[in-house]
Amino acid sequence: MKILIVDDHPLFRAGFHAVLEQGALDAGILSVSSVQEAMQILQRDPEVGLVLLDLHLRGEDGFNALKVIGEKHPTTACIIISGDEQDGIASRAVAAGASGFIPKSFTADEMVAAIKRVLEGEVFMPKEQASATGDNSSLTLRQLEVIQMLGRGCSNKEIARALDVAERTVKAHVSAVFEALNVRNRTQAVLAAQRRGFLPSTAYAATR
């Protein structure tokens, strides 16, 4: 089995590569600087079983890249790696299909331990992120805005227009809200938000 690192910072990529080679993972380590290069390797090398994807690649939307990899290579696990540790990022990554989230503040040993857990079939989130999932504190202000608009029955297109963001960004926010509230659809999300006091009881769920 092989692990593919996708990161556009040469020093971090080289260091991460070296750490994983010394980490007793029993896997070959490959590294590239772009999603395009990653897709080429995934296309020609079926032994790649795990992708470590930097969230903020230059000129790339990490969440969009995660979606593309998932659609074209559904059996390949993908962990998001990021220096962005704001509330909601980890749960959003997992909601978007990642098998885990590893902050760049982790030590080498912590990174290797997290990767091993994913290779064993777990979904990994940092303890502080995992403990917050499903709790009110895990919701960002933007997610609260999205919940309010879901309660008013707004479509993704209407939410995107109101927030002045791309529709795919709204989809990511909605997925993160579902993950945080531990629900599967808009109706359940609105009901859960009402129970937690995010929405008044008169709010209704969109069926669109």
**33 pLDDT tier (thresholds 50, 70, 90):** very high
pLDDT of 53 reads: 95
Condensed to tens digits (0 to 9), the pLDDT of residues 100-138 reads 999 887 887 888 999 999 988 888 988 754 433 444 435
pLDDT of 18 reads: 81
pLDDT of 136 reads: 41
pLDDT of 139 reads: 60
pLDDT of 135 reads: 43
* Alpha carbons within 13 A on the beta-carbon side of 100: 26
One-letter-per-residue 3-state SS of 26-55? CCEEEEECCHHHHHHHHHHCCCEEEEEEEC
**147 pLDDT tier (thresholds 50, 70, 90):** confident
pLDDT, greater one: 87 or 27? 27
Whether residue 37 contacts residue 86, with contact meaning beta carbons closer than 8 Å, is answered with: no
The order of strands in the sheet holding 28-32 is: 28-32, 2-6, 48-54, 77-82, 100-103
Please, what is the average pLDDT of the chain?
83
Token pair listed for 39: 């897709």
Whether residue 114 contacts residue 80, with contact meaning beta carbons closer than 8 Å, is answered with: no
Whether residue 34 contacts residue 60, with contact meaning beta carbons closer than 8 Å, is answered with: yes
Query: In sequence order, what E strands does the chain have?
Result: 2-6, 28-32, 48-54, 77-82, 100-103
| Residue position matching structure tokens 């903020």 | 56
Q: Identity (one letter) of the amino acid at 157? A: K
- DSSP label of 102: E
pLDDT, greater one: 206 or 35? 35
Condensed to tens digits (0 to 9), the pLDDT of residues 154-204 reads 999 999 888 777 888 888 889 888 888 889 999 999 998 888 777 776 655
The pLDDT > 70 percentage for the chain reads: 88
Query: Exposed, middle or buried by CB within 10 Å (0-12, 13-18, 19+), for 155?
Result: middle
pLDDT at 32 over 60: yes
Token pair listed for 184: 């599967």
